[in-house]
Amino acid sequence: MVKENFMWGGSVSSMQTEGAWNEGGKGPSIYDAGLMTSMAKTSSDWKVAIDFYHRYKEDIALFAEMGFKAYRFSISWSRVLPDGEGAVNEEGLAFYEAVVDELLKYEIEPVVCLYHFDLPLALVKKYGGWHHRSVLEAFKKYTEVVVKRFGKRVKYYIPMNEQNAASTIAIQMAHKVVPEAEKVKAGVIAEHHMLLAVAGVKNCTREFAPHAEVGGMVNFTPFYPKTSKPEDVLAAQIANRRVNYQILDVFTTGVYPADMLKDWEEQQALPVFQDTDLAALKSGTIDFIAHSYYQSAIAAEGTPITLENFFGDFVTGKLLKNDYLQESEWGWMIDPVGLRLAVKEMSDRYKLPVFTIECGIGVQEELNDEKTVEDDYRIAYFTAQLEQLSLAVEEDGVDLMGFLTWGPIDLLSSQGEMKKRYGFIYVDRDEKDLKELKRYKKKSFEWFKQVIATNGAVL
Ligand code: BGP
């Protein structure tokens, strides 16, 4: 199905795996302060997660046993710069170096994400959020520290996780701290700063790590029209533009597309951009497109989709249901064809390599008496997704760099749930009871190992 150096592997974030929230000199992030999610009381906090901080060698050995070629993780900004912008915490940086070295020991390519929604708390206290220029400046400093330290060892950087979702969060955070009349404008500026941050990473690698490639990432959710009524088709097109393509346009061309500017103009929030900013965007366009894929969505006339109103319903499973598809336990639509469509769309439009760096299904699971999980449903889920990706490569000519599953080892969900499990490896802990945090292989472990060993020939 795929080229020889295809990057099979898995993908995680720092706060969903590491734990050690206040160890090794780490400063608090907005997760530690409970500012990020409106989590149910039954959910876990972020203090221990799956304790990857102390168990990374054991976990990476398991990934190596599965034959991983790549592993995408995020760096906790406040572990490296505890207050976000001042002194560097050597111990924090050394931890990530050790993770990178451990991966390289097994010839697993580290794919480093610099920002997975976890803004250092100190920056929020001082500046409010991404609408403040100082946060962008702090991110540039942080980027330089990391890129310089990793040097030749890291070839792939993802500046921001799911930039469309990250922008949503930044917009909402800006809204909380500025006066009513300035809200929308602050949200737009926050988005602008985050896009500049991505271009900044590209320019930073150009200077200090010219071998490295930078991928702009979105959560790609293809929108289908509710019916073939032209107004519904138009609504789907607009939703696709707002959620998926506007940001990808900026990543790839360094220019704000006309409809994005019109959206801002309509909200009376069109900023006066500095020429240097616009030049910076143009000078820092990305090398490849990275994306997550979980589900497709439906758009209909009369209920306009915007970045602000979309991702809340996405996570809580409240999107319109599609009669042709089944849904997961969390109400997410299961749509393998949507994945083919997604990579095909990105490839056709932007003529860049595409890297699927998150995909998976969250399921409630328990260990059986044999201390494993017979997760045939996960095998069936991934088989269907990979069959569609094969078609995208073979029939549509998509240049696909790799396929990383989300949460190859069970981890906390975005809402802090341990019961929503994604892994090939079971982690024995509950929402509140940490137990021994032992790792057990599920049935899908051997299955994915064989997929990788045959480079996708045997699914
Ligand atoms: C993406 C995030 C991840 C991850 C994943 C699954 O949006 O990048 O952090 O959590 O979704 O979502 P959830 O954990 O809500 O099931």
Q: Which residues of 264-289 are buried (b: 16+ CB within 10 A; e: fewer)?
A: beeeebbeeeeeebeebbeebbbbbb
Give the pLDDT of residue 181. 87
Residue 180 Cα to ligand 1 middle (Å): 30
Residue ranges of the chain whose pLDDT lies below 50:
none
| Rounded Cα gap, residues 459 and 447, in angstroms | 8
Our answer on whether the CB atom of 360 is closer than 6 Å to any ligand 1 atom is no
- Beta strands of 333-431 (E only): which ranges? 333-334, 354-359, 400-406, 425-427
CA 361 / ligand 1 centre spacing (Å) = 10
Residue nearest to atom 9 of ligand 1 (CA): 414
Catalytic residue among 191, 358, 365, 417: 358
Residue tagged active-site, from 162, 191, 345, 365: 162
How many Å lie between the centroid of ligand 1 and the Cα of residue 419?
13
The reply to whether ligand 1 has any atom less than 6 angstroms from the CB of 413 is yes
pLDDT at 426: 98
315 lines ligand 1 (CB under 6 A): yes
Of 194, 200, 305, the closest CA to residue 242 belongs to 305
Answer yes or no: are the C-beta atoms of 131 and 187 closer than 8 Å. Answer: yes
> Under a CB-based contact definition with an 8 Å cutoff, are residues 440 and 428 in contact?
yes
pLDDT in tens, 258-293: 999 999 999 999 999 999 999 999 999 999 999 999
Tokens of 333: 């639509």
Cβ contacts of 176 within 8 Å, gap of 6 or more: none
Summarize pLDDT for 101-140 with one digit per residue, the tens: 999 999 999 999 999 999 999 999 999 999 999 999 999 9
What is the length of the chain?
459
Inter-axis angle of helices 258-266 and 246-253, to 10 degrees?
130
Give the pLDDT confidence score for residue 37 in this predicted structure: 67
Q: Are 449 and 385 a contacting pair, CB within 8 Å?
A: no
CB 413 within 8 A of CB 362: yes
Asked if residue 246 has its Cβ within 6 Å of ligand 1, the reply is no
Ligand 1: which residue has its CA nearest to atom 5? 414
Residue 18 appears among annotated catalytic residues: no
Within 22-88, residue ranges assigned H as helices are 52-66, 77-80
For a pocket test of ligand 1, which of 160, 358, 406, 419 has the largest count of ligand atoms closer than 8 A to its C-beta? Answer: 406
Is-above-0.85 flag for pTM?
yes
Give the pLDDT of residue 41. Answer: 74
Q: Whose CA is nearest to atom 12 of ligand 1?
A: 414
Q: How far is the CA of 26 from the centre of ligand 1 (A)?
A: 23
Q: How far apart are CA 375 and CA 384, in angstroms?
A: 15
**Of all atoms in ligand 1, which is nearest to the CA of residue 332?**
16
Count CB atoms within 10 A of the CB of residue 43.
19
CB distance 362 to ligand 1 below 6 Å? yes
CB of 219 closer than 6 A to ligand 1? yes
Q: Measured from the CB, is residue 417 less than 6 Å from ligand 1?
A: no
Q: How many angstroms separate the most distant Cα atoms in the chain?
A: 65
301 is catalytic: no
Nearest atom within ligand 1 for CA of residue 412: 14
Q: Among residues 436, 413, 357, 366, which one has the least CA distance to residue 54?
A: 436
Atom of ligand 1 nearest to the CA of 415: 15
Q: Is the CB of 221 under 6 A from ligand 1?
A: no
pLDDT at 38: 61
Task: Report how far ligand 1's centroid is from the alpha carbon of 279 (Å).
Answer: 33
d(CA 161, CA 157) in angstroms, rounded, equals 11
Ligand 1 proximity of 73 Cβ (cutoff 6 Å): no
Residue from 307, 414, 415 whose mutation best tests the ligand 1 pocket (most atoms within 8 A of CB): 414
- Torsion-angle region of 256 (φ positive above 0: left; ψ -120 to 50: alpha; else: beta): beta
Ligand 1 proximity of 162 Cβ (cutoff 6 Å): yes
**Ligand 1 atom showing the smallest separation from residue 420 Cα:** 16
Any long-range contacts for 54-58 (C-beta under 8 Å, 24+ apart)? 54/19, 54/20, 55/437, 55/439, 56/98, 56/99, 56/102, 57/102, 58/439
